[in-house]
Amino acid sequence: MDFNMYVFSKKQQKMILVSKTKIQLQNWLKKFSFSHTITIEPTPSFPFKIEEVQQRLRQIDFNLNRYYFGNNFQKLDSSKRIWMICFNEIQFNSHYNILLHSPFTEPTINQEIKDRFIKEWLDIPSFNPFTQSNRDTSVVPIDINITRNVGESVIYQTKKFDFDNVVDSDNWFFSNPKIKVLEEKYKEAQYDFIMNAIEKINTCRT
């Protein structure tokens, strides 16, 4: 543990490590060219479960990539294709913050991606087990915007993300689990830091 950490209480040490881990994650994300920010708004009467959001994003990921790059898009490097990273933000109501990466810089294409994402989302039926009917799609629970500043967008989309979220993979995920390069790069850059932080935080808990 850093020498300066000894001047803080156990609770303060944990808060410092939490803050450092969050900054590490944000700095890593700022390296990618995210073109859109997306929020799946809370729907208290019939909230989206994380498993459904995962399936939806995987399908949208597949359809968008196939439309823009053809059937062989899986062979493309992550920098040359569309993918998303999603964060489950749990406050009063669970909702999802998403950063979408695309290799395009043309405003017209990014606007088209925005429109297509909404269409793809609405085209996927969602069954309500309580009413035995499909989810009402008259109100679109999506706020999607074209990114103007990647750094600011990353900070905003992860503003409520804390240490426990970072180490719990169930709270954040890639839209395509086959993008192993990204996961490996993240683990390589963060594994030692996170493992050391976990050990230190566990020793701080009373």
Question: Is 172 in contact with 165 (CB distance < 8 Å)?
Answer: yes
Q: How many CA atoms lie within 13 A of 136 on its CB side?
A: 7
pLDDT at position 112: 97
Helix/strand/coil percentages in the chain, nearest 5:
55, 15, 30
pLDDT at position 102: 94
The C-alpha atoms of residue 138 and residue 122 are separated, in whole angstroms, by 10
Residue 69 tokens, joined: 């790059």
For 135, phi then psi, to 5°, come to: -60, 140
pLDDT at position 5: 41
Tokens 């999802």 identify what position?
96
pLDDT at position 177: 72
- For 11-38, what is each residue's pLDDT tens digit? 555 555 556 677 777 888 888 999 999 9
Residues above pLDDT 70, as percent of the chain? 63
Question: In the predicted model, is pLDDT for residue 88 greater than 60?
Answer: yes
Helix axes 10-29, 150-157, angle to 10 degrees: 140
- For 152-205, what is each residue's pLDDT tens digit? 999 989 887 765 555 555 678 888 877 655 655 555 555 555 555 555 545 544
Question: In the predicted model, is pLDDT for residue 64 greater than 80?
Answer: yes
- For 99-147, what is each residue's pLDDT tens digit? 999 999 999 999 999 999 999 998 888 766 566 667 766 677 889 999 9
- For 119-131, what is each residue's pLDDT tens digit? 999 888 876 656 6
pLDDT at position 100: 96
Give which of 167, 162, 168 is closest to 194, Cα–Cα: 167
Residue 75 tokens, joined: 């062979």
pLDDT at position 173: 82
The C-alpha atoms of residue 12 and residue 121 are separated, in whole angstroms, by 43
100: Cβ–Cβ under 8 A, 6 or more apart, which residues? 34, 35, 36, 37, 38, 82, 83, 84, 113, 117
Question: Is 107 in contact with 121 (CB distance < 8 Å)?
Answer: no
pLDDT at position 201: 47
pLDDT at position 146: 95
Residue 206 binned pLDDT confidence (cut-offs 50, 70, 90): very low
Q: How many CA atoms lie within 13 A of 40 on its CB side?
A: 28
Question: Is 154 in contact with 99 (CB distance < 8 Å)?
Answer: yes
Residue 89's DSSP bridge partners are: 95
